[in-house]
A and B are shown apart, each in its own frame.
Chain A
Amino acid sequence: MNVTEEVRSVEFELPAAKVRMRKIKERLIYSALLGCVLISVLTTVGIILSLITETFSFFQEVPLGQFLTDTRWTPLFADKHFGIMPLVAGTLIILVGASLVALPIGLASALYLSTYAKPGVRKVVKPLLEVLAGIPTVVYGYFALTFVTPLLRTFIPDMSIFNALSASIVVGIMIIPMVSSLSEDALVAVPHSLREAGFALGATKFEVATKIVLPAGLSGVIASFILAISRAIGETMIVTLAAGSTPKLTLNPLESIQTMTAYIVQVSMGDTPHGTIVYKTIFAVGMLLFLITLAMNIIGQMVTRRYREVYE
């Protein structure tokens, strides 16, 4: 906003020294604010640099081919193998399980809040969902390990104490509010005239919701799915506490597994000397995690931006 230029004509009434002081002050403030903006840019640079340097030195010891194709991940054992696949498989089970819980339930409650719920109900339900979103992940981890797992084991007795099923259900519960609130935003943004037209033709709420509102807001809903899944991939404490610490190339949710995030925590809990290969695995796994979530976030934002353009 450069309105100051036009205002300059008034300044002749002030003494020249004061005007100069003001200009210097304005410029100083401008620089200070700009400096603060740079911190967020430097954060990105810092993340990338710190990940790249150690990852690079990791790949000088472990060939990329082994990292991608070996089916065992055992950096903490004497017989070291550095195949990332078991950790990726573990992360995948959690993300599929969490999606099965969170995507349908989150979308359904978005449809409920945007089409069926009376304003009074909405006023109560929305803040409650926000409470659900504000609960620390370590609390969810506690819930998974001490409540959900024992509950599931009464139905599936031979399931191990640490298992992917319980963790993925709770990760799903954790991301429900994210799916429902972002989807609801997209559904509410669908012009009211479209709904009214549907109702005027005699459509039921179900028909308006599924045949008009949902298709019109679909890209926003998909964006919410992508962002929520990205959250599930980066989730750490629930999977560390409830899913176990045995990297395994399996897709069986009843077994104990390990995700990328849980591995990073496991290594940092022990005293790992700086410069060792085990220390470097933190960064290599972190790099992969960063790249996956970054890609998903960028795709999610692109989809969001696209649907915004339609209605503006």
Chain B
Amino acid sequence: MEEESVALQRRSKRRATLDVAFHGLVLMATAFALIALAVLMFDVFRKGLGWLDFQFLVSFPSRIPERAGIYSSLTGTLWVTAITALFAFPIGVATAIFLEEYAPKNRLMNFIDINIANLAGVPSIVYGILGLAIFVRGMMLGRTVLAGALTMTLLVLPIMIITSREAIRSVPSSLRLAFLAMGATQWQTIRHIVLPASLSGIFTGSILTVSRAIGETAPLILIGALSFVAFVPRSPLDEFTVLPIQIFSWVSRPQAEFSNLAAAAIIVLLIVLLSMNAVSVWLRLRFEKRNSK
């Protein structure tokens, strides 16, 4: 009797120890990911902050590190992002509306669902190959801002559709039914009920989706964005470069100065991305406030 209870006690002690040990293990694993993030940020800021000044933002790239800047690449990024948003937002939202509000439940729609999910998983470099074959060669757009933006549009479209659908799906169907019951047509219901109710979700998702396009490098290398651009694109049919490609080209150089320039450009890129995140959070809060009134 005595022995058994001792054995039991020992066993439950061992189980408790195991539990604590496992807790420590999974905590450490999570901490590893966060520490990696912290180290990355610290490293980038330590190397890049000294090179970051106003001159850096308004100078063209140069062979002399002290004179080099990101004027052309930052402008190119803004161009490509703006045009991508211009195409991807309406097409993505329209697709989401159709799939949520109109689409019948049949095999074809099921296929389209699976197709979109698969497109979201296609490696970005394959979109680059698509852009090269269709926009640069097929439509003869060349290595232009427009070709880049169209490639990026196709790249972000699946994610844009998926996030917009989630926002539209969250509108309670009782609202739709009430409006339809009053004699509204389907489009009137969408226009006056569904869209206003889901707009905040659609915007938040869209901003985050477009911010993914800002960080993409590989597809734009494929379509031939240049790495040394000493001019600013004036129209969608001009050649261009973007911030990630500028970073890539500086990191590829062996000299430490250029690696530091890359770090400075990374800081700018991260600031652009973080501020887009902040805008989407701010928008969501604002809409939530208005809806609660």
Which chain A residues have a beta carbon within 8 Å of chain B's beta carbons? 1, 3-4, 7, 10-11, 22, 25-26, 29-30, 32-34, 36-37, 39-41, 43-44, 46-47, 50-51, 53-54, 104-105, 108-109, 111-113, 115-117, 125, 128-129, 131-132, 134-143, 145-147, 173, 176-177, 180, 204-207, 209-210, 227, 230, 233-237, 240-241, 261, 264-265, 268-269, 274, 282-283, 286, 289-290, 293-294, 297-298, 300-301
Contact = CB atoms under 8 A, between A and B. Distances in A.
A206 B18 contact: yes
Interface bracket on B: 35 or more
Contacts of A129: 33-34
B248 A116 contact: no
A146 B248 contact: no
Contacts, number: 268
A50 B130 contact: yes
Given A3-B177, A37-B112, A294-B122, A132 B36 contact: yes
A138 B130 contact: no
B133 to A, nearest CB: 3
Contacts of B222: 264-265, 268, 282
For the residues of B in contact with A, the DSSP-based class is helix
Contact of A132 (B28, B37, B125): B37
B248 A237 contact: yes
Interface stretch (B55-63, B196-204, B211-219, B283-291): B211-219
Nearest to B187: A29
Interface stretch (B64-72, B153-161, B231-239): B153-161
Contact of B26 (A11, A32, A112, A261): A112
Contact of B91 (A39, A105, A117): A39
Given A112-B27, A139-B269, A147-B39, 8 more contacts: A36-B94, A40-B119, A104-B29, A105-B29, A115-B26, A237-B248, A264-B222, A268-B132
A275 to B, nearest CB: 10
22 contacts: A3-B177, A30-B102, A37-B99, A39-B91, A39-B95, A40-B112, A44-B115, A50-B138, A54-B133, A132-B34, A134-B211, A136-B216, A137-B215, A209-B22, A210-B22, A268-B132, A268-B221, A286-B126, A289-B125, A293-B126, A298-B118, A301-B114
Interface in B113-140: 114-119, 121-130, 132-134, 137-138
Contact of B263 (A32, A142, A233, A298): A142
A3 B180 contact: yes
Given A36-B91, A135-B40, A204 B133 contact: no
B185 interface: yes
Contacts of B99: 37
A164 B94 CA distance: 43
